[in-house]
Amino acid sequence: MTISVKSNYDFSADMKAAGQETRDNNLSERIRARTVASYFTADPADKFRLVLRGTPIDEVISGSFFYSIDTAARGWSAVVPYDPYDTERAEYFKPRQYHRAEIYLGGKLVCTGLCYGVSGETKTTGRYATLTGWSLSADAIDTSMFPPFEVNDITLEKRAAALMQPFGIGVTYEGTKDKPFKRVTASKNDKVMTHLLKLAKQRKLLVMSDEQGDLVIHKVATGSPIATIEEGTDTFKEGGFKFDGRKMFGSYTCYSKSPKRNKSATAFDDGVPVSRHTAINSSESDDEDMASTDVTSGASI
């Protein structure tokens, strides 16, 4: 897809045209248009299964799956034998194909997305290709912001839904009461997901990707621990910790991005007894939300 640059450049017009082309060729829509199995019931518990373009790749030599509750995308990599004379399978190893991909662990679907990376190597034991992929939200992580760059009186759920719509990604909101932001702003250089994560951080919420490639906005549970890791037990193998006082500050001042509003808010951390101060820019200009940004930033370091 090519977006031409012309005089009197109308960004919104080109985005509309690009959006139409995306809707015509949207890989995520094509993924969802077919039935994706949720389980392979015969798979053992430690089975890593890769499915490309609806075809199981049974000859995977090794595979890895990456996922956490605060990561907006799930990822994977798989090493498979590569035979350049196998014309049917060679199609899978061509770059820039963006093949649809699903990953199953123990027969259960854990990732729906695309295959983005292909690399190859030759060893004495043969030729191998390493395939890497991510859930559908990876495109929102890499893509720059599009209009509107400023929105008033919008909730986090509605902002997320509007941002994910061009990618064909659904949004499930499982957070607390979704209070509207008085004002949300973004720059042309911001990435779509980075902008969304900043807003979620102000609400002390996390954004994660589910097994279908959609987004889930949720709040971390604060109840009783679900498990205990205790040194000296069979389940404990090794551990460690690291603390860096240079990443902590005694005060955090958050400034609005709008010079006309000229608003700011400051939060303090009594646990830092030395004179250390940092400034943060907020993507929206409500006093309460800016204060929340400061506290969240300090607590997350």
Maximum C-alpha span of the chain = 69
Determine the pLDDT at residue 10: 42
Determine the pLDDT at residue 21: 41
CATH homologous superfamily for 145-218? Baseplate protein-like domains (3.55.50.10)
In which residue ranges of the chain is CATH 3.55.50.10 found? 145-218
Higher pLDDT, 145 or 24: 145
CATH homologous superfamily for 248-300? Baseplate protein-like domains - 2 layer sandwich fold (3.30.1920.10)
In which residue ranges of the chain is CATH 2.30.300.10 found? 25-135
Report the alpha-carbon distance of residue 261 to residue 187 in Å, rounded.
Answer: 17
Determine the pLDDT at residue 301: 32
CATH topology of domain 25-135: Phage tail proteins - horseshoe like beta roll fold (2.30.300)
Higher pLDDT, 271 or 16: 271
Higher pLDDT, 71 or 116: 116
Bridge partners for 251 per DSSP: 268, 277
Q: Which of 19-23, 74-78, 203-207, 276-280 has the highest mean pLDDT?
A: 74-78
Q: Which residues, 6 or more positions from 226, have their beta carbon under 8 angstroms from its beta carbon?
A: none
φ and ψ of 275, to 5 deg: -80, 95
**Reported pTM:** 0.70
In which residue ranges of the chain is CATH 3.30.1920.10 found? 248-300
pLDDT(288) > 90: no
For residue 148, what are its two tokens? 């509107």
Report the alpha-carbon distance of residue 129 to residue 78 in Å, rounded.
Answer: 8
Query: Rounded to a whole number, what is the distance in angstroms from the first to the last CA of the chain?
Result: 40
Burial 84-115 (b: 16+ CB within 10 A, else e): eeeeebeebbeeebebbbbbbbebbbbbbbbb
Span 275-283, average pLDDT: 83
Bridge partners for 52 per DSSP: 55, 101
Model confidence pLDDT, tens digit, residues 177-235: 889 999 999 999 999 999 999 999 989 899 999 999 999 999 877 777 777 788 888 77
Determine the pLDDT at residue 127: 92
